[in-house]
Amino acid sequence: MALAQDDVKKPAGRRPGGRRPGGAIRGWIRSVWPSLTVFVAGFVLWELAVEVFGISSFELAKPSEFLAEMWRSRDMLWDATWVTTQEILYGFLLSFAVGVLLAVLIVRFSWLERALYPLIVLFQVVPKVALAPIFILWFGYGLAPKLLLIVVITFFPITLNMIVGLKAIDQDLLLLMRSVGSSRNQILTRIQIPTSLPYLFAGMRIAITLAVIGAVVAEFSGAENGLGYLIQFASTQLDTPLMFAALTLVSLLGLILYYAMSLLEFVLRRRFPHITADTTR
């Protein structure tokens, strides 16, 4: 059970009040520039180090090299990025549906909790990336094995966080609902599900980053296109700049998707102010 506990990310406390939009942008810039400086400095040092120590571009590509490669192969890379993005998005949506449904059913029906919950936790012990070759064997090189792998890797943090959120209902509120004869379904849909949103979002943030890993690993194991496939392909060709170019794009994709999740949270905050949007911290 220790494993299960570690995966729960508790939602942070509510940030009091709203800020003025102008102040928000200035605040954002102020909070972003230190990490941006370090980031750029890192790239400059990298470039210099490769130059000074005379490392061959076969071992470590210079940033200038793989950025140039990125521009040269932009059509191919764009195609691959699009393929991988689709895999991640479809996989994540499927995982969201499976994860939330499972959590709701488990909390609603205690016999299902007894039947499924231990198995779900047990399943966490399986190193799921190792399932990729099996899924390829069963479903071929298309979209299906990628989606399956992503679901298998990402549903757990969603389900677990959602379960914790659904159970986080105030006991006094539960009593109040019973005092007017509300049904369990009413309590679930009107109280428990909205209450669980901050927990669900914490789980979705973990899940979206795991989804990127799932897509890349699935592509390693067998694919016809995609960024993971390109990294694999470039490695067989000893084309290090292309590898780094694809790697950069995967990382960027992960970052964008993570922040997209924060944006969604921010939008939902208008209706459900108890969701916290800690996008920059």
Partner 1 sequence: MESMGISAQGIAMSFARREQEQTVLENLDLDITPGSFVTLLGPSGCGKSTLLKILGGILEPTEGTVRIGGQPAADAVKGRFIGLVPQRPALLPWKSAVQNASMLRQIAAGERAADAAPAARRALELVGLAAAEDKLPHELSGGMAQRVSIARALAMDPAILLMDEPFGALDAITRDEMNLKLAEIWAATGKTVVFVTHSISEAVFLSDTVHVMGLDRGRFLETLDVALPRPRTREVLDDPVFTEYTGRLRGHLEPKATV
Tell me which residues touch partner 1 (CB under 8 A): 14, 16, 170, 172-173, 175-182, 186, 190-191, 194-195, 271-274
Residue 116 vs 174, nearer CB to partner 1: 174
Residue with Cβ nearer partner 1 (56 or 171): 171
Q: Which one, 18 or 34, has the nearer CB to partner 1?
A: 18
Nearest Cα to 149, choosing from 231, 218, 220, 222? 218
Provide the minimum distance between the beta carbon of 194 and partner 1 in the complex, in angstroms, as a whole number: 6
Task: Using the minimum distance from each CB to partner 1, give the nearer residue, 84 or 192.
Answer: 192
Closest approach of Cβ 188 to partner 1, in Å? 11
Rounded to 10°, the helix 110-123/143-167 angle is: 130
Contacts with 34 (C-beta within 8 Å, 6 or more apart), sequence order: none
Q: Rounded to an integer, what is the distance from CA 278 to the centroid of its chain?
A: 16
CB 164 within 8 A of CB 199: yes
User: Smallest distance from the beta carbon of 97 to partner 1, in angstroms?
Assistant: 23
- Of 170 and 224, nearer to partner 1 (C-beta) is 170
Q: Within 13 A of 223's CA, how many CA atoms are on the CB side?
A: 27
Least distance between partner 1 and beta carbon 113 (Å) = 21
Residue whose tokens read 């901050």: 198
Q: Which residues, 6+ apart, have CB-to-CB distance to 188 below 8 Å? A: 104, 107, 108, 166
Q: Do 196 and 138 meet the contact criterion of CB atoms below 8 Å apart?
A: no
Q: Cβ of residue 260: shortest distance to partner 1, in angstroms?
A: 22
